[in-house]
Amino acid sequence: MSSSDPVPCEESTHTAAPVHHEAPPLPPDVSGTVAFYAAHYLPDGRKTHDVRSGPVDTRLPLASAFKTMLLYTVLQQVDDGHLHLDQQFETTDANQSIEAFPPDRINTLDRLAELTIRNSDNTASDILHLAADPARVAERTTQLSPCTHIHLTTKAFWAAMSGLIPEIIDPSTPETLRSSARTFAALPAQEKRDVAARINTLAQGVHQQAVYDGLDTYFNGANYHPENDVSLLNSSTARAYSDLLSRLFLQSTLKPATRARFREIMASGCCTKPTEGVPFPYTYWGAKAGSGWRLLTMTGFMELPDGSGIAYTYVNHESDVQDAEEIEGQLRPVLNWIVSAVTPLAESTGTP
């Protein structure tokens, strides 16, 4: 059982699949809370079959899996003329997040988009997020998926979690941190976008090394609590995020050129190479995974030969495995499990 308070969310736009399949047993090394939802979607968005495991309508942290929706909203703004693929951006102390970051100081938007998905580069993601205006990203996300909340850059949610944004997230005690984070998460939509804008701005004044040091203290200290992941990281439910992915791929409103670029970039994401291959034919696979402290996420969309598709979301929160790099060792066995879980959905189409 999770030690966090569950945050349920069911969207009024949810459509039930008429046929349900049982998920196979999880890989033996998986521990903690697992929510998995996958469905077969027709091109018009209707579901024919689904498979689920765990609390699929409970809000959970997405880790870097949120970057799929971020990329989509960035490309929407390219279509709108607000951004341009050849537009250049500089990596600075203000926008530099943790872990790997673009090797070049100046990069085009298109290059940053590639790095955001293929390398899961947090600085590239944050530069795009800030360029697209986080409030606009949040609003467009909730328009498509009310249960999906994408408000903060990676640097912002880690800085807030680490106690480096005390003006809003009070780190004085474990209780004040949880309470202030919970208060932020529960704000009405417009107010939450306004407060998130302050957090995103304040985070730009925090140096990357301070975030590293703050996270070490947080994860190894008394202030750590998994509930803060749900409150501060970008989040969704397994069912809602799969439904959202199906819309992004099957019912895209992007122009032909940006739609093609979206699919091309997403095809470079982790992970699409299971050990034993895929036992059914497919014409496209776009994916994005994420990891964190006691957290692993895997999401994706597979297009089938008849034009329908399978979207899936796997969230493992509160794992016994703490370190992000260590939990990434589960990517391959979980990917193999996902393929076995969605195979009945593909077979339901009658495709040989």
Total-model pTM: 0.95
For tokens 């998460």, the residue is 185
Six-digit token string for 51: 């498979």
The tens digit of pLDDT for each residue in 14-65 reads 677 788 998 999 999 999 999 999 999 999 999 999 999 999 999 999 999 9
Evaluate if residue 229 carries a pLDDT over 60. yes
Please choose, from the candidates 157, 54, 116, 73, the residue with its C-alpha nearest in 3D space to the C-alpha of residue 288: 116
CA dist., res. 88 & res. 109, Å (int): 6
Region 250-276: mean pLDDT is 97
Q: Note whether 129 and 152 are within 8 A (CB).
A: no
Q: State whether residue 317 is helix, strand or coil.
A: strand
The tens digit of pLDDT for each residue in 296-343 reads 999 999 999 999 999 999 999 999 999 999 999 999 999 999 999 999
